[in-house]
Amino acid sequence: MVQGLATYVCCTSAALPEEELPSGPKQNGRGSHGQYVYWITQPHPLPATIAALGLKTPDDYDREAFSRLITQAHTECGQDVLETVVFQELHGSGKKHNNCLARNEQQYRWKSIAENLWEKHKVRVNFAPHIRTWSEGVVYGKVASEHKPPANLDQNPYQWAKSGAPTKFEDVIPRKWQAGGFTRRTKLTHTAFLELCREHNVQDEDQAWAIALDLEEKGDKGLTTYLMENEAAASLAKVERSRQAREAAERAKMSRLEILKAVVTKGKCTCETTGYCHTLMKDVLARNGLDGKFQRTVIANLRAGRQKKRNLCIVGGTNMAKSFLLKPLTLIFKTYTRPDGGSYQLEDLLGKELVFLNDFEYDDETKRWMTWQFFKNFLEGERVVVGRPKNRGGNTKFTKDAPVFMTAPQEVTLMRGKKVDQYETRQMHARIEHPVVTIQMHGDEKLQDITLLFPKDWREKCAPLIISTGTSP
């Protein structure tokens, strides 16, 4: 395993370039049976891609040959094509693209066709997500728009039909759109805006406007019109919620260690001196005789979740960098930190992956947060009742096994008046491991460096990662 604490890793993706990967309408979801009609595009690959993979290009096919290829691929995948029409158009790059509109006997999903063309025929294609019907495809190929001026239309498309009688274009194009020189005004839908934001990784309104101006220079005013007619901030907020929902769904399938490894793979140190935080943390651990053991304990607790002796509390006085050692975990995982007060202090626990209790003491205020018995049960991994107001769903239970990490001035202790309840305190110590830091670093130059990182700009300055050393426990 990768060694070290708070290791910072820069890496480059080894994935194929985006243009090499077939794309198309979403295929997941219960009850999703695909479409009857697809718009299939063969773009022109980059020269390096052609050389590396031996791909065919649009120049290798005329309209009729491309129609036969698409029909053959469907047949080889057990699909019955009823008719096709092929348009050859120039892309914005100036290179020819082949576009085939294909209609099938029954609904089907596109992926097997894409894989067949890729693996058997060395042809890479995309399936347009915005065309779902025959009339939509014919209009897109035959009627000029703000996005596609008349000069870019194919004047001699090739039609084929299994019956021998292809559907006439005029039968599916609205009459007023058939007049010479007619240009459709394209209007961006909310769904198309979402896809555009995903494609360009749009994060804010300024970026959206910049892309809109760039598209407008190319003759496409769809995004500009959308931003003028809609509240951009509200639309972008919905895009962000969609993005987060997808990430949350993918993250929910991962274990904590898988999440950790993913962050390690993508992580990048932003210290002025690469790995500076890692050096400081290693120094703190080495001074206290914890280097190696501490990292293995963290990994073991992440793997196990809340269990007896799998809850970690770093004990020590002030200026000993206790919080510094655990703060990286709060950046990697969705973390619950105890609020200062309020009636529903556990509500924010819902959906969290990790619990961090900083400067923890079991005092009168803590008793109002969680009773001693409930806290013991919580550290064993049992469910805990979470109070919520009725307008937010009412009381519920927290069932996740989120591991607990703490810092404290002393071991967690229950006081009865002025005396320690020895029995209950021993019960708690059976649930918590208490590594102790004893080297006070007050005045040390390195501690001053550490304190500069907290608390205001930690998240912006560094992305530290905790990973294990040695063998897994």
Q: For the segment 451-460, what is each residue's pLDDT rounded down to a tens digit?
A: 333 333 333 3
Q: What is the CATH number of domain 257-461?
A: 3.40.50.300
- What is the maximum alpha-carbon separation in the chain? 97
Higher pLDDT, 417 or 473: 417
Q: Provide the residue ranges of all domains of the chain, joining segments of one domain with +.
A: 33-184, 187-253, 257-461
Question: How would residue 450 be classed by pLDDT, with cut points 50, 70 and 90?
Answer: very low
The mean pLDDT value for 199-207 works out to 88
Burial degree of 392 (CB within 10 A; 0-12, 13-18, 19+): exposed
223-230 contact pairs (CB < 8 A, 24+):
223/188, 223/193, 223/196, 225/187, 225/188, 226/187, 226/188, 226/193, 230/193
Whether the per-residue pLDDT at 469 is higher than 80: the answer is no
Hey, how many other C-beta atoms are within 10 angstroms of the C-beta on 430? 12
Burial degree of 333 (CB within 10 A; 0-12, 13-18, 19+): buried
| pTM of this prediction exceeds 0.75 | no
Q: Tokens 């018995």 correspond to what residue?
A: 373
Rounded CA separation 454/215 (Å)? 43
The mean pLDDT value for 418-439 works out to 91
Q: Beta strands 432-433 and 311-315: pairing type? A: parallel
Predicted local confidence at residue 95, as pLDDT: 86
Tokens of 269: 């140190």
Predicted local confidence at residue 472, as pLDDT: 32
Burial degree of 421 (CB within 10 A; 0-12, 13-18, 19+): middle
Entry field: residues in the chain:
473
Question: How would residue 428 be classed by pLDDT, with cut points 50, 70 and 90?
Answer: very high
Predicted local confidence at residue 270, as pLDDT: 62
Rounded CA separation 335/355 (Å)? 6
Q: Does domain 33-184 have CATH number 3.40.50.2000?
A: no
The SS3 of residue 228 is helix
Predicted local confidence at residue 146, as pLDDT: 66
Q: Are the C-beta atoms of residues 104 and 82 closer than 8 Å to each other? A: yes
Vertex 20 angle, CA 143 and 93, to 5°:
45
CA dihedral 163, 166, 171, 174 (to 10 degrees): 140
pLDDT tens-digit readout, 28-75: 445 557 899 999 999 998 888 899 899 999 999 999 999 999 999 999
Domain 33-184 and domain 257-461 have a common topology: no
Nearby residues of 468 by Cβ (< 8 Å), 6 or more positions away? 1, 2, 295, 296, 298, 299
Q: Provide the residue type at 366 as one letter.
A: T
As beta bridge partners, residue 86 has 100, 158
φ and ψ of 346, to 5 deg: -95, -5
Cis peptide before 455 (omega within 30 of 0): yes
pLDDT tens-digit readout, 256-289: 988 888 777 776 666 667 777 777 888 888 889 9
Whether the per-residue pLDDT at 127 is higher than 90: the answer is yes
